[in-house]
Amino acid sequence: MKGKMKAVVKYTEATGFDYVDVDIPAIGANDVLIKVKGTTICGSDIHAYHSAPGILDMMSLPVVLGHETCGDVVEVGSCVTSVKVGDVISPEPHIYCGHCYYCQNDAALNCLDLGLFGLDRNGAFAEYASLPENVCWKHPAGTSYELGAIHEPLGVAMHGVMSGEINGKSVAIFGCGPIGLFAVGAAQTFGATRVFALEVAPKRLEMARKLFPDITVINPKEQDPVKIITEATGGLGADVAIELSGSAAALKQTFKVIRREGRVSLVGVVSGAIEIEVHKDIVLKEARVNGVFGREIWRSWWQVRQMLDTGKFDPLPIITHRFPLKDYAEAIELAASGEAGKVLLYPEA
């Protein structure tokens, strides 16, 4: 498809983006062109906006931002067989090579030649986006574009929750931003018996309490989470702790709230070095610790579908704000403020 489109682009390492006219992306033989219907703002988009340390190394400028998206397929390359015009798809933004050690060992998320849709290649803060066929996730008929757009962050939460046993377990979830709230829903759907959710921002505390009336919501500024969780678990501690807040203090506390042989899964982006009492918190406890980056391809996506199919958890209320693409700056500011859930950008055309 030839022509111009509106897009949010980062041109230089200076703070900010630009809202500009660019060419509609050309597609290759193995690519798909989508008409973008909505794209939610990720923490990485906020970091990219502010040119935060670390993020620029992952980017190739200039680039169209945005990766949590959903749209209609409007054109397919000559070799594409599994996707057709009219399908509603979301991209797995980790564009994997399919040929390296990890891709061939059921771990494409750790691909050695990973391309990042919306960071090192053009993404979906735009009217159209092109992506390879092999990263298209086809939604079943009736899936709304907004629900489609949040499959990617739902998958991150899912990978964190499902990177160990969850059925019948007690779980402490650190951080009630959108991914934290998604993780609460995923943990409950897949059988966690007791969920504790920790958060300090008033708006997010309120959302956690409202969306999940049967969990224990803790504000660590006012209450001692270690005491509450230890007492509530018969003096043992939680089976699982998942860190999604990106706070160093929270990360340290995950090791204090788990029981012996408990699991700590680290998802949130905590920059810099952190001191942990390794012997006391990990060795003597025989704790298991794992990092979580992105989604398991495609296991996490299937788990998200299975979760949604149960009807037990509706993640849509976690999208709290919607802005036209041109108001991206205001939207990013709001998303960064802790005063919102997921914030969605939509192209007006």
- Chain residues binding Zn ion by CB under 5 A are 42, 68, 96-97, 100, 103, 111
| In the complex, least distance from residue 66 CB atom to Zn ion, rounded to whole angstroms | 9
Rounded to whole angstroms, the Cα distance separating 326 from 346 reads 9
| In the complex, least distance from residue 123 CB atom to Zn ion, rounded to whole angstroms | 10
- Of 66 and 347, nearer to Zn ion (C-beta) is 66
Which amino acid type is present at position 98? G
With beta carbons less than 8 A apart as the criterion, state whether 21 and 127 touch: no
- Of 147 and 217, nearer to Zn ion (C-beta) is 147
- Of 122 and 216, nearer to Zn ion (C-beta) is 122
| In the complex, least distance from residue 118 CB atom to Zn ion, rounded to whole angstroms | 8
| In the complex, least distance from residue 44 CB atom to Zn ion, rounded to whole angstroms | 6
Task: Map tokens 């699982």 to a residue.
Answer: 240
- Of 68 and 146, nearer to Zn ion (C-beta) is 68
Give the CA distances from residue 164 to residues 10, 69, 341, in Å, rounded to whole numbers and listed in that order: 38, 28, 27
- Of 24 and 114, nearer to Zn ion (C-beta) is 114
Cα torsion 187, 191, 193, 197 to 10°: value is: 10
Which residues lie below 8 Å from residue 209, measured CB to CB, with a gap of 6+?
217
| In the complex, least distance from residue 114 CB atom to Zn ion, rounded to whole angstroms | 7
Other CB atoms within 10 Å distance of the CB of residue 294: 19
Other CB atoms within 10 Å distance of the CB of residue 78: 8
Q: What are phi and psi of 203, to 5 degrees?
A: -60, -40
